[in-house]
Amino acid sequence: MSIGKLLSNGALLVDVLIIGAGPAGLSTATGLARQLHTAVVFDSGVYRNAKTQIMHNVLGWDHRNPAELRAAGRADLTNRYSTIQFQNSTIEAIRQIETHQLFEARDTEGHRWYGRKVVLATGVRDIPLDIEGYSECWANGIYHCLFCDGYEERGQETAGVLALGPIANPPRALHLARMAKRLSESVTVYTNGNEQLAKEIQEAAGASPAGASWLEFDARPITRFEKGDVAKTVIVHFGESGESKTEGFLVYNPQTEVNGPFAKQLALKMTEGGDIQTTPPFHETSVPGVFAVGDCATPLKAVTPAVAMGSLAAGGLVAQLQAQPLPEFRLDRELECGQVLNDSNYYHGELHPPLFEYNISFTTPANPPSCEPKLTAKDLWTGIARVADTPQEYAPYVSRCEVLSRNGHGLERKLTMANGAVHKSDGEIMYQDVWIADRLLVEARTKDTGAKTTFLLSYHDTATISPDSTDISFAVIYELKLAGIEPGSPEAMRIQAEYPELARKACTSTVEQIREWKKNGQLDVWAEAAEVPVW
């Protein structure tokens, strides 16, 4: 099945760009995959519950590692479905291209992707209390949700509620106190120096039909938190007197902040609580075509609501995608099961994302003084011609080459890249047309961008033109073209800085590799086995 379409400049277009690979993003991707829609899921590697080793209140996954849940969801999508692609990168900007009814996402390295819809599943960042020791105790004795945590600490003599920040009001403080009471004998509400708030909560508790004989209040200013010696206990320290109290656990719902700049970039409406505003049941935002799911779009920040929101959003996305025609622009080809189809699918108009170009060439004499054995023109050409079929013998950043077809002037090949190339990562696929000008050059042109690599044999100006001539040089020419990378961006500058050394090494190492093959007799073996005489 299709994993997306390539624009005429090599940029990838999919149905949906999903920003975030937590439960909400994975759930959305699963629904889309079931209807054969294409999506890229961007995984920044940042998760709100990264410190949590055990999660709860998730059907079928209770008391298990949340990282394993994410890994299982990703494995399901990768192994069972073919229309979802994962990208381990951080998106830094999203913009709408209204003339084409598309959205453009750009990552921190300058790469760009295009989608018909966007799903924000970015999660949130907890804003910590400015009290010493808070971070060390967070998720390890200070809990934000007593559905998620606390049951394992049941039976404590006392627990505490921090009535600070978003919890500094009677209704919310009492709600958390009642939940904590289910797991402890008594509960203390801490107001950190706010005696008026302590009084208001106490009055509200007294007016409650449930009463509050089990509830205590402490308005002393808190100076620091400290992990206790037993289980998840937390020691609360007060003032300069050195007084403290140990709680079995503490409860606090921190203020949160939506991850990423996208709400501002897309001018999305927000709720009073700071979440992205969406419309039920499908969770589309105030901007048509942009959906938000999970913690970034609900006050109920937990795994199960996130999964439900993602599934519902997928339903809305499917309905919209199937009811709306594909926007008109030029497509170069469609990727299907890793294969490139013929160039028959074109649309009017074109998108023009940035294209980074960089050209460089190096030349080296084939026979520097003291180098033995000497390479003849026939030797050098035999080695150069071999690069068409087996580039991995020359370049460590190519792990595999598959020749797809041949013609009278060259061949078509599929390269699987390895680590080492400055512009490709491990496992990426590159399709190339290779043109061979006999006894002169081998030129490989990358299909999606038009980038070229050329290996060239040349005679010196005083040379005798002969297959036995040793008065020869070898040149390598790189014409680099990378769609989706902004000229002048950090990624472009990195490539521009690293590529000359790559080209220089390719030039000199290729000649020495061919010389080594002459030493061990391999060039003669290849020349004799060639269907067409090498010279």
Task: Give, to the nearest 10 degrees, the angle between helix 170-181 and helix 195-207.
Answer: 70
Residues 296-355: tens digit of each pLDDT: 999 999 999 999 999 999 999 999 999 998 765 544 444 433 333 233 332 333 444 567
- Determine how β-strand 142-143 pairs with β-strand 234-238: unpaired
Within 8 A by CB and 6+ apart from 68, the residues are: none
End-to-end CA distance of the chain: 45
Report whether pLDDT(533) > 70.
Answer: no
Task: Please give the backbone phi and psi of residue 206, each rounded to the nearest 5 degrees, phi first.
Answer: -70, -30
Please, which pLDDT band fits residue 39 given cuts at 50, 70 and 90?
Answer: very high
Decide if 59 contacts 36 (C-beta within 8 A): no
Q: Which strands sit side by side in the sheet containing 244-247, from one edge to the other?
A: 222-227, 234-238, 244-247
Instruction: Give pLDDT, residue 335.
Output: 40
Residues 163-184: tens digit of each pLDDT: 999 999 999 999 999 999 999 9
Give 291-353 as a DSSP string.
Answer: EE-GGGG-S--SHHHHHHHHHHHHHHHHHHHHHSPPPP--EEEEEETTEE--S----SS----
Decide if 187 contacts 201 (C-beta within 8 A): no
User: Average model confidence (pLDDT) for the chain?
Assistant: 88
- Among the residue ranges 57-71, 276-290, 407-421, 453-467, the one predicted with the least confidence is 407-421
Residues 428-463: tens digit of each pLDDT: 777 889 999 999 999 999 876 788 999 999 999 999
User: What is the rounded CA–CA span in Å between residue 518 and residue 511?
Assistant: 11
3-state secondary structure of 387: coil
Instruction: Give pLDDT, residue 257.
Output: 97
Query: What mean pLDDT is predicted for residues 7-26?
Result: 85
User: What is the rounded CA–CA span in Å between residue 119 and residue 28?
Assistant: 8
Angle 150-155-160 (CA atoms, 0-180°, nearest 5)? 55
Largest CA distance in the chain: 107
CA atoms 200, 202, 203, 205: torsion sign = positive
Instruction: Map out the domains of the chain with their CATH numbers.
Output: 2-125+256-340 (3.50.50.60), 134-251 (3.50.50.60), 355-529 (3.30.530.20)
Host H or E run for residue 432: strand 429-437
- Determine how β-strand 250-251 pairs with β-strand 156-162: parallel
Task: Please enumerate, as own/partner, the contacts of 225-229 that have beta carbons within 8 Å and a separation of 24 or more.
Answer: 225/131, 225/132, 225/133, 225/134, 225/136, 225/137, 225/142, 225/250, 226/133, 226/137, 227/133, 227/136, 227/137, 227/140, 227/141, 228/141
The pTM of the whole model exceeds 0.75: no
